[in-house]
Amino acid sequence: MTRCDKCSYESFYFQRYSGMHLCQKHFKEDVERKIRSTIRKKKIKKGDKIAVALSGGKDSSVALYSFNNIFKNWKNLEIVAITIDEGISGYRDRAIENSRLLTKRLDIDQRIVSFKEYFGYTTDEIASLERDKGICSFCGVLRRKLLNEVALEENATVLVTGHNLNDESETVLLNIIKGDIERLARFSPSKVQEGLIPRLKPLSSIPEEEVILYAQLEDLPTKKERCPYIDEAMRFEIRQIIKNLEEKHPGTRYAIMKSFYELEDVLRAKYSKKNLGKCKICGSPCIGEICQPCNLLSSIKKKI
Ligand code: SF4
Ligand SMILES: [Zn+2]
Ligand SMILES: [Zn+2]
């Protein structure tokens, strides 16, 4: 029997990148310690209102659960979960049900908002009109806008999302490979922009497989439903490359993020001068005259 490196109990998980065998208790402690450390850097303060983007999948469920565990005894700190229903039949219903069960279990207020009620279209309807374009580019942009709008309506001061270490390292490498360094700089905004709620990603230093294990241990939803429109050709290639590298060289994902954090100040210095303007249609902060979501919505209207 292999024993935990921190106590004499049976090992439950081998953490290849650290070389540690961990029992269940020490595995959970390790995950929670990393989450606390990420949150601490963002300086959550009393009086804050935290909006958590809750899809009902494993990542956002663990983000909400752990965030609530850390802060539930704080007075003057409110948490609200925001769930977006993109309108994808057969895919979102189960995740939304999971999100309802979790917010009920944790006694947290939840807002469920749909694309249909806010933008007038479901993702299914957009997909039937925009056959020649990837639907994710519409859905992802509109979801980000809606999350920000609802968080503003809720007077939230911080927006928590469930991105894990795998997501973060893929995004960094993807932007480098595409040569899109300005987008990489936006990944770590240099200043708080009026109208944009600052983001916090408590799982950004937790590998996906540890998020899944943690969710199983805490009896949270873990099943990842596959969206029928998923279109992530290049991201999928990057994911495979990083996965192969991680297997041969454990710690690659952390190394990618460490490099990014080292470059953050340089990127901020170069790209921080840009002040966002206001979209002429919806008033949201944007580069240029019309924001991306409004551009996409007007391209849909033209096709109806
Ligand atoms: S995979 Fe694409 S279409 Fe499906 S929910 Fe995600 S962003 Fe939307
Ligand atoms: Zn132990
Ligand atoms: Zn706009």
**Predicted local distance difference test score (pLDDT) of residue 72:** 85
- CA torsion sign for 233, 238, 239, 240 is positive
Topology (CATH) of 34-272+289-303: Rossmann fold (3.40.50)
How far apart (Å, rounded) are the C-alpha atoms in residues 205 and 257?
9
Give the closest residue to 206 by CA, choosing from 33, 1, 21: 33
Q: Whose CA is nearest to atom 2 of ligand 1?
A: 136
Q: Which of 114, 136, 163, 171 to mutate to test the pocket of ligand 1 (most atoms within 8 A of CB)?
A: 136
Which residue blocks in the chain are alpha helix, DSSP H?
24-41, 58-71, 92-106, 115-119, 123-129, 135-153, 165-178, 181-186, 208-217, 233-248, 252-271, 292-303
57: phi > 0 → left, psi -120 to 50 → alpha, else beta; which? beta
Pairing mode, if any, of strands 285-286 and 277-278? Answer: antiparallel
Give pLDDT tens digits for 124-161. Answer: 999 988 766 778 888 999 999 999 999 999 999 999 99
CA distance readout (Å), 298 to 53, 123, 253? 26, 15, 39
- The answer to whether 13 and 42 have CB atoms below 8 angstroms apart is no
Q: Where are the domains of the chain?
A: 34-272+289-303
Give pLDDT tens digits for 249-268. Answer: 999 999 999 999 999 888 88
Q: Report the nearest atom of ligand 1 relative to the CA of 140.
A: 7
**Predicted local distance difference test score (pLDDT) of residue 132:** 65
Distance 3 CA to ligand 2 centre (A): 8
> Is pTM, for the whole model, over 0.85?
yes
